[in-house]
Amino acid sequence: MHVTFVSLCPTDAAREAGRPALTPELLAATGARYSRNNEGLDAILAKIDPGRLDASVDAIFRMIDYGHQSIADMAPVAMFIDSVSIWLAYLVWAWSPQAGGQESSTRYIRLAPEGLVDPALLGIPAARQAAWRDAMLAAYERYTRLEAGWQALAEASPERVRLPADLLADDSPKARRQVLRMQRNFAFDRARYLLPAAAATNLMLVMSARAWAALCQHLCSCPLPEARALGAAIRTELAYGAPRLLRHAAAKASISRGLADEFDQLATSARMGLPPCLCDGTDDPAHPDTATLEVMPPPGEDGRGFADALGHHDNRYAWIGAPLRRTAVRVAWAAVAFGDIRDLNRHRTGTKMCPPRPLGFYAAADQLPSPDAPDAAQAPFEAVREAQRFGRSISRQAHDGLAAADATYVYWTLLGTQYAFEHLTTADKFIYEAELRTGTGAHFRYAKHLRDALERWYERFPSTRGLVLEGAAEPE
């Protein structure tokens, strides 16, 4: 695990134009002073001593102890976080809803067992570490086998990858590279469900110092040792950009108790019995992914104005009218694979909820051709069946750990382990998410989830069909 604070510097054009450059806390102090007088920027900047930048913060605005959190919102901070588990990265995004950033993608990068996070850092008991590592290596073996199998199918059947005919006809090196990339993506997208949640990933986030402090509060209050270690590492780096905020970036008793309450409730539900899809004897361990949608229009709005609200909506970033912006939406799926939850979780708007009790295991079996299809011989039927058996077994083991109130159970799960997931937002943001997650380059599985949700929407508001710019998840 490694965390790096990265400062911003002025561009050449800004420097040549004589535009000011401020540290994060100086920027916050300068903005905060606007609330107390109207002297203007030049007068405030004149108070800065270039040789004593830190002292200049208090000279400009003494409330910079961040007693007012709105001041901390004006201090931008960027950090790069390397080698944390995919599970912890998910928590970081869940606890940082206002962040911008990126994470290493399982859709474009082949992951190797060398990237497993150290089980000691994860908090896995020493007596179980050897068994855990054996299970994770077995998962990687199946991931590698699946990737090869799906790659073979992609090469044998361009139509399954949906490669454009003009691209296949183009024999240029550029076109060939694009075809190879699309085939790799096809394989990665279907094999990734066997990757461990304990695989290492990298991520970068940029957000306000206030948001970093809130993230540290959650991380430092979390029962997982890996989370607490990351919280401490972020605190160390935050001192370079917003040292006055450190006293707020610490564990909070209320958060610790709240997380403990939610975990106890989850463990209690697990002790009520094993979900049917994780029991032996079921053909398919995948839990049905049934979508439900609740829509709450504002007073006086019955939905008849929704079509008009989409009248100027010619791309997913375009205008959406007030009737939709004022309408609340709760969309939920009975079960979503963790690999897809990671993507759905990163939408910034609203509130997401994912109680991480394993319900089933998805291994992309629905992507196999029928046994009598012309390309069936190239399809990884046996590899997928073995992945289903293994995924069910390891997810059941994780469920047993949860029932025993072992917080490290999450590190026994895979990206195919399924959980319930819901998102509470507004209709305009739901439509944007649906258009994005069914658009060009979208992963086939979360595209299905959003199409299912849109069908529930169309059932209630049929006049909007064709106005919502639903895509077909074409490869790119």
* Three-state secondary-structure class, residue 418: strand
* 404 found inside a domain: no
pTM value is 0.95
Could you tell me if residue 390 is inside a domain? no
Compute the CA torsion angle 72, 76, 80, 81 (nearest 10 deg). Answer: 20
* Higher pLDDT among residues 164 and 70, named by residue: 164
Question: According to the model, what pLDDT value does residue 66 have?
Answer: 47
Q: Is the predicted pLDDT of residue 83 greater than 50, yes or no? A: yes
CA distances from 279 to 266, 387, 394, 395 (A): 19, 15, 12, 10
Residue-level pLDDT at 64: 45
Residues 266 and 317 in one domain: no
**What b/e readout covers 214-250, taking b as 16+ CB neighbours within 10 angstroms?**
bbbbbbbbbebebbbbbbbbbbebbeebbebbbebbe
Are 340 and 446 within 8 A, CB to CB? yes
State the residue range of the domain holding 139.
Answer: 76-270
Helices (H) and strands (E) in the chain, counts: 20, 9
E strand or H helix at 309, and its extent? helix 306-309
- For the chain, what is the mean pLDDT? 95
Whether residue 200 lies inside any domain: the answer is yes
272: helix, strand or coil: coil
Mean pLDDT of 386-397: 98
Same structural domain, 209 and 306 = no
For 330, the token pair is 């709760």
Residue 130 lies in a domain: yes
Tell me how many domains the chain contains. 2
Assess whether 353 and 256 both reside in one domain.
no
Task: Give the domain-ending residue among 270, 291, 324.
Answer: 270
One domain, residues 95 and 200: yes
Among 133-137, 282-286, 424-428, which stretch is predicted with the lowest mean pLDDT? Answer: 282-286
